[in-house]
Amino acid sequence: MKKTIAVLFTLALSALLSANTASKEIKLSAELIITEIETDVYLVTHSFPWPGNSLIVKTGDRDILWIDTPYTPDAAQNVLAWINQTFGSDASVTEINTGFHIDNLGGNEALLKKEISVYGSDLTCELLKKKSPSTMAKMVEWLKDEKMTKYRNVYASFKFYPPNRVFNINKEQKIKCGDEEAIVYYPGPTHTYDNLVVYLPERKILFGGCMIVAAESNKPGFVEDGNLSAWVVSMDKLSARFKDCRIIIPGHGKAGDGSLIKHTREVVSAALLNSKTSN
């Protein structure tokens, strides 16, 4: 009986939280949605055309931490306008790029024009120069359908802007933003060779980005810029480094709990096994 009551209470609480979250959804455009997943924590989802996540956290009276960007400068500018409208025109924004792909830093141009500090690794800067042309060419090929013309045109002529606060990827960073500190950690190659995670210890929130596979997905996504074997090992390092994650944000899909690290390891391990047996 007690177990039944507990289950019913949990379901009721989940429904309440879901309803509350839905009521705090802000639609900036048909492709750009901001959802307050808890107080002062906002998930930004940009569908261009694939839904990609970035995260905004209010960390002080006028301090905003933004992890990753939407795909394009225009979308990033729309989010900046929302930040100024919501938190004040004097809000101070700090951005962290977690990798070199367009869904990590495609909006950098808009931020840099506002002289916003954009943190990123030395390897991200290197890969932007070496790998972005070939990666973007593949994306243009995926968008050859006539219905994707809008997106294809943007990707075909896209200009990347690197971060302006560059650090050594192999040295863990602690970036102060307002009243909180963000830990930037690199466990090793995963989805790409430069993917980082950002952990907020006071909130126990981990932004895993494209390193993390959402619970609703059983595929690791685009892996040609990464390393499946190393990805499995990196998940073990990540699990050991941050043992108390309460919320994990994947690069694509819904936010989840600490089990997303284990889920990612399982998905990547299965993909690795499949790649070995198919060769």
pLDDT, tens digit (0-9, with 9 covering 90-100), for 80-114 = 999 999 999 999 999 999 999 999 999 999 999 99
Check pLDDT > 90 for residue 115: yes
More confident residue, 264 or 15: 264
Beta bridge partners of 167: 121
pLDDT in tens, 10-39: 344 344 444 444 448 999 999 999 999 999
Find out whether 223 and 191 touch, Cβ atoms under 8 Å. yes
Count the Cβ atoms, other than its own, within 10 Å of residue 167.
18
CATH, residue 225: 3.60.15.10
Q: How many domains does the chain have?
A: 1
Check pLDDT > 50 for residue 216: yes
Distance CA 173, CA 124 (A): 15
In a domain, 195, yes or no: yes
Mean pLDDT, residues 133-150: 96
CA 142 to chain CA centroid, Å, is 22
Distance CA 98, CA 194 (A): 8
Check pLDDT > 60 for residue 50: yes
In this prediction the pTM is 0.91
Burial of 136 (0-12, 13-18, 19+ CB in 10 A): middle
More confident residue, 276 or 232: 232
HSE value, Cβ hemisphere, 13 Å, CA-based, for 213:
24
Cβ contacts of residue 74 below 8 Å, gap of 6+? 110
Q: Residue type at 243?
A: K
In a domain, 200, yes or no: yes
Secondary structure letter of residue 256 according to DSSP: B
Map tokens 């070496």 to a residue: 130
In a domain, 18, yes or no: no
Average pLDDT of the chain, as a whole number: 92
pLDDT band at 277 (very low <50, low <70, confident <90, very high): confident
Check pLDDT > 90 for residue 256: yes
Mean pLDDT, residues 210-214: 98
Strands (E), the chain: 25-27, 32-38, 41-47, 51-58, 63-67, 92-96, 117-121, 165-167, 173-177, 180-185, 197-200, 205-209, 247-250
Q: Which two tokens stand for residue 191?
A: 């989805």
In a domain, 10, yes or no: no
In a domain, 9, yes or no: no
In a domain, 2, yes or no: no
User: Which range of residues forms the domain containing residue 121?
Assistant: 24-278
CA–CA distances in Å: residue 138 to residues 6, 22, 251: 50, 35, 19
Handedness of CA 248, 254, 257, 259 (dihedral sign): negative
According to the model, what pLDDT value does residue 279 have?
Answer: 61
Calculate what percentage of the chain has a pLDDT beyond 90: 89
According to the model, what pLDDT value does residue 16 have?
Answer: 40
In a domain, 7, yes or no: no
